[in-house]
Structure 1
Amino acid sequence: MSILVVGLSHRSAPVTLLERTAVTADELAKLLHDVHQTSSVTGALVVATCNRLEVYADVEKFHAGVSSISELLSRHSGVPLDELSRHLYVHYEERAVQHVFSVACGLDSMVIGEGQIAGQLRTALKIGQANGTVDRALNEVVQHALRVGKRARNETGIDRAGASLVSVGLGRAGSLEGRRALVVGAGSMSALAVATLAREGIGEVVIANRTHERGLHLARSAEVPARAIELSELPSALAEADIVVSCTGAIGLVITPDMIEGPVFLLDLALPHDVDPAVRELPGVTLVALDDLRDADDAPAASDTEAVRRIVCEEVQAFQLGLIAATVAPTVVALRSKAAEVVDSELGRLGGRLPGLDDKAREEVAQTVRRVVDKLLHAPTVRVKELAASPDGDTYTEALRELFDLDPKAPEAVIRAEDVL
């Protein structure tokens, strides 16, 4: 297994470039398919959020994988490769695992510790599984990453404040008590916005969405008075709103200066952005967009962040040791299988030479012989697992196969190794 991560995020690229590389649901499926079809890739999934676009792949060749994925990201986004490559980061093998684990914990988020990324990572895995692009290696990495994220949240205060882009952004609007809010969109970010507004004591929420049924569903689930409207009613709803949160998947602008009639606070979490930046020129209008949240100071305590980093390091080491054990297991199983065959053969010959041996004595002899073999094999099998974790550790496994003429690829060895793991 060779895990590769190629991507860009708020840490490596300006929001203007992230907007140009943003993908819709249909485009994501096409990108995922194209990555998976490249000759060097055996498994793939794509994480696409408002502040990151990352391809996770299981690759046979590092350079070929990086080149192919970079070119595909350029082709799908329309951003020239020489411009895009300056903002791409690449992580491979152990560093890739560490990156995925850090992402799942919220350490790499625009708002450190935000918990929404875990759900986005889980969604990316489900989309990959549904499209048949996730192989066993990628599944293991992401599933382990989700467990690491859960452990970090359970054992530390990394998300004690429930920080998210929504809560941090709305925190700049002042008190929300009794005010009127308009949420544009009905996706996961909009649902989080409605929940956050309710928690902060908003008086009423209006939800405008292109698909009215989804807006109705979100309104019904709200814990405050809420109603859904058609997107065509947006101008009149804007006139009545004190707070606006917009996060749609629209390609063009959704809210423009001519639609705003009075003082209003706008939080634009869409990528590409929903709100025309020109609204900032209007009197009484405040616009907070993703770029304004890049340097948010709503971070958790340094001690919590450091504790999560330690957890990530521990889990990466455990994961890597698990990979080593997985490579050694078929050889160990093959050795024990061969030993069992020799024991059974010799016990059969003993029965032929001593036909008068009663059943009790025969069983006692068999158990004694098997105990002797198990004790003889215990030390070398434990030691080869330990040595496998050292530099050039695979040479010890190879030596064991050579000395005992083992075939770890035999079906029974592989099946039993999978059972052990």
Structure 2
Amino acid sequence: MVVGLSHRSAPLEVLERAALDAGSARALAVAACGGEDVAEAVVLSTCNRLEVYSEVASFHGGLADLGGALARATGVPLPELTEHLYVHYADGAVEHLFTVVCGLDSMAVGESQVLGQVRSALRRGQEDGSVGTVLDGLLQRALRVGKRAHTETGLDHAGHSLVEAGLAHARDVVGPLEGARVLVVGAGAMSALAVTTAHRLGAGSVTVVNRTAARAQRLAEAVGGRWRALGESGALERELAAADVVLSCTGAVGHVVDAATVGAARALRSGGAPGGSGTAAPQLVLDLALPRDVAPEVGRLPGVVLMDLAGLGEELGEEAAGRGAGVAADLADARAVVAEEAAAYLAERRAAAVAPTVVALRTQAREVADAELERLRARLRQHLGEDLDERVEAEVAQTLHRVVSALLHTPTVRMKTLAADASHGPAYVEAVRELFDLDPVGTRAPEVVSDALRAFPEARSAPGVRGSDGSLAQALGLRRPGDGGETR
């Protein structure tokens, strides 16, 4: 099951309130596993999405556990949060993950940074023990799918990173990027992308300012740039004054770049003290953080152009729509990879789910054969006063087991084949368990899809669960039957 919200389901203001830092994301995954119906959980928290991927025992119980954990972790009341949540379950959850890891659900369609984010989320889950065999295998597979999509299709040509989209405005605001002075605030993954992209596009100089000077130094030195510690008195103000383009992505709570600091920097940039009469050269400020690093009031200062994730995302959507058939073909190829890989993974999982039943069936048959051999020995001792000759006994035992294997071969092959059918496969396996009276606990496969979908048919829909009967809200304890109104 996947429960989450993203730029596609929630406005920036809600995403900002629900944003979690790395530590809080880890805590959410561990807390989710404390739910009665959640066995495993991993949290993907990026600048434009917050999602919990989980292995659950039931749809309703898992949804209630995850919804409550998300509300507690974000501090957003559950009724308000539910308005923006989407849910993917069973097959749909796998396909959604593969779509996300390929960058097909990103604000900048086709971007590859999400690969690293998913890899980091998996590593944190492994370290914290919230990821078990199911999610470990699924996320490892997802990473391979993402690499394949970028290698075998034109997805990289379709993609346009947020950093590149923002820097494309530099020419209109400050002139050619070549020779421009770029300031990067922060030293995380997005900041690293900003530094390397600005350097690749020919920026005249790159300066990194970060709370931890060592991290700023490592990042800046990689491109021959400068670095400063954010806590150094007046450092941010002076670097802002010198910069033509500012990119900020710290992941901090609260505004790192406020209007007062930028106003003072603008005065220095004009060559005078605060309140001076000089005219400062224009500046482009790109806020790539969530929660936002830059106070909205900065965009109202004369000579400052401020762009945040909401504006860049809208622009990227319009750009993708206008790039024509070539991009559409690249995206179609990538989606075909996702569909193929999701079908293959699900078929493998259903086949693996049959294994306990097959093992139990063969074990039962072997036990019956061994019991008959023992009866044969007893009868021979009773009537002839002796056991079978060892060679004869071995030949009889081998013949009996060959007959049993031959009789079971076709049913077991057919069972594995039929199990690949998501609609009827579990029913076939259940029929075998009933017919042969196999242990329902020891052999029950870890599949709850069919029962859950029968209980909650709306779970088949995508991209979210939508029904007019309020079932999702009821599952979360937000609405009673008969309240009316559509619930997403």
TM-score, normalisation: structure 2 = 0.76
Return the alpha-carbon distance in structure 2 between the equivalents of residues 246 and 23 of structure 1.
17
Checking the alignment, whether the CA contact within 8 Å between 1:169 and 1:293 is kept in structure 2 is yes
Aligned pairs for 1:25-40 within 5 A: 25-40=22-37
Judged with a 3 Å threshold, the aligned counterparts in structure 2 of structure 1 residues 128 and 278 are, in CA distance, closer, same or farther, namely same
What residue number does 1:394 align with?
Answer: 426
Aligned pairs for 1:191-340 within 5 A: 191-220=192-221, 222-223=222-223, 225-231=224-230, 232=232, 233-258=235-260, 259=262, 260-261=265-266, 262=280, 263-295=282-314, 296=316, 297-299=318-320, 301-340=327-366
Secondary structure of residue in 1 paired with 2:3: strand
Checking the alignment, whether the CA contact within 8 Å between 2:287 and 2:306 is kept in structure 1 is yes
Verify: 1:43 aligned to 2:43, yes or no. no
Return the alpha-carbon distance in structure 2 between the equivalents of residues 68 and 338 of structure 1.
39
Q: C-alpha displacement at 1:329, in angstroms?
A: 0.9
Return the alpha-carbon distance in structure 1 between the equivalents of residues 293 and 90 of structure 2.
37
In the alignment, residue 283 of structure 1 is paired with which amino acid? P
Once the two structures are superposed, residues 345-372 of structure 1 have per-residue CA deviations (whole angstroms, 9 ceiling, x without a partner) of 77896998663859xxx98887766555
Once the two structures are superposed, residues 104-132 of structure 1 have per-residue CA deviations (whole angstroms, 9 ceiling, x without a partner) of 11111001111011111111111112111
Count of aligned positions: 405
In the alignment, residue 177 of structure 1 is paired with which amino acid? E
Percent identity reads 51
Q: Which moved more, 1:65-74 or 1:119-128?
A: 65-74
Query: Once superposed, what is the RMSD of the aligned Cα atoms?
Result: 2.7
Q: Which moved more, 1:329-338 or 1:348-357?
A: 348-357
Once the two structures are superposed, residues 193-252 of structure 1 have per-residue CA deviations (whole angstroms, 9 ceiling, x without a partner) of 1111111011211110011111111122x23x2111011301101111111110012212
Q: C-alpha displacement at 1:304, in angstroms?
A: 1.3
Q: Which moved more, 1:188-197 or 1:375-384?
A: 375-384
Checking the alignment, whether the CA contact within 8 Å between 1:264 and 1:286 is kept in structure 2 is yes
Judged with a 3 Å threshold, the aligned counterparts in structure 2 of structure 1 residues 214 and 398 are, in CA distance, closer, same or farther, namely same
Checking the alignment, whether the CA contact within 8 Å between 1:111 and 1:298 is kept in structure 2 is no
Q: C-alpha displacement at 1:31, in angstroms?
A: 2.1
Checking the alignment, whether the CA contact within 8 Å between 1:330 and 1:408 is kept in structure 2 is no
Return the alpha-carbon distance in structure 2 between the equivalents of residues 394 and 78 of structure 1.
40
Q: C-alpha displacement at 1:161, in angstroms?
A: 5.8
Q: C-alpha displacement at 1:269, in angstroms?
A: 0.3
Return the alpha-carbon distance in structure 2 between the equivalents of residues 385 and 173 of structure 1.
58
Return the alpha-carbon distance in structure 1 between the equivalents of residues 76 and 433 of structure 2.
50
What residue number does 2:474 align with?
Answer: none
Judged with a 3 Å threshold, the aligned counterparts in structure 2 of structure 1 residues 331 and 69 are, in CA distance, closer, same or farther, namely closer
Judged with a 3 Å threshold, the aligned counterparts in structure 2 of structure 1 residues 202 and 364 are, in CA distance, closer, same or farther, namely farther
Q: C-alpha displacement at 1:18, in angstroms?
A: 0.8
In the alignment, residue 336 of structure 2 is paired with which amino acid? R
Secondary structure of residue in 1 paired with 2:129: coil
Aligned pairs for 1:46-57 within 5 A: 46-57=43-54
Checking the alignment, whether the CA contact within 8 Å between 2:158 and 2:327 is kept in structure 1 is no
2:409 to 378, 381, 384: 378
TM-score, normalisation: structure 1 = 0.87
In the alignment, residue 320 of structure 1 is paired with which amino acid? L
In the alignment, residue 397 of structure 1 is paired with which amino acid? V
Secondary structure of residue in 1 paired with 2:253: coil
Judged with a 3 Å threshold, the aligned counterparts in structure 2 of structure 1 residues 399 and 269 are, in CA distance, closer, same or farther, namely same
